[in-house]
Amino acid sequence: MNQTTTTPSDKETDSGATDVERIFHAWDEALGAKDIDAAMALYREDTTLESPLVCHLLGTPEGVVRGRENLRRFVEVVFAHQPPERRRFRTTYLTDGALLTWEYPRVTEDGEQMDIVEVMEIRDGLIAHHRVYWGWRSMGMLTSGAYPR
């Protein structure tokens, strides 16, 4: 269920959409189109991203990417290595106006997809911090080698 309370962090845009709504839709569009410029335009320069995929694809012990330029390089690698199970079915989001959260459930009408929860802290209309939590099916793909490097 979408919570519609508008806070100072969640201002309405010229189209009437809040920053949270705009990011929810624009992020998915950029991901689907593999549009790196559109995706990076949604992030603050000093952004952070945390995900187990960072360790997997970059071979680092820490699953954190710091800064928009480092994030750009990481997302280019992500776009080049997405398995077919990485689909984008989702229904809605939860927000308090500053924190945006949604789920990619494992089970969909078209079969299974990677089970992931996205959490974004929105500040001044941009993503300040982005955390990605993986469910058992997604983690199994990493540990079994089914997710390409």
pLDDT reported for residue 86: 81
* Residue corresponding to tokens 């997405």: 82
- Backbone Cα Rg of the chain: 15
**56 located within any domain:** yes
**6 located within any domain:** no
Question: Rounded distance, CA 66 to CA 36, Å?
Answer: 17
Give the distance, in angstroms, between the CA of residue 43 and the centroid of all CA atoms in the same chain: 11
pLDDT reported for residue 17: 66
This prediction has a pTM of 0.86
pLDDT reported for residue 12: 56
Domain that holds residue 77: 19-144
Number of domains forming the structure of the chain: 1
In tens, the pLDDT along 12-43 reads 545 446 999 999 999 999 998 999 999 999 99
**60 located within any domain:** yes
CATH of the domain at 66: 3.10.450.50
Q: How far lies 64's CA from each of 39, 43, 49, 67, 116, in Å?
A: 18, 15, 6, 10, 17
Question: Rounded distance, CA 14 to CA 55, Å?
Answer: 39
In tens, the pLDDT along 125-145 reads 999 999 999 999 999 999 998
Counting other chains too, the contacts that 97-106 makes at CB distance below 8 Å and 24 or more residues apart are 97/3, 97/5, 97/6, 97/7, 97/9, 97/10, 97/18, 97/20, 98/7, 98/9, 98/10, 98/122, 98/123, 100/20, 100/23, 100/24, 102/24, 106/135, 106/137
pLDDT reported for residue 6: 39
**34 located within any domain:** yes
**132 located within any domain:** yes
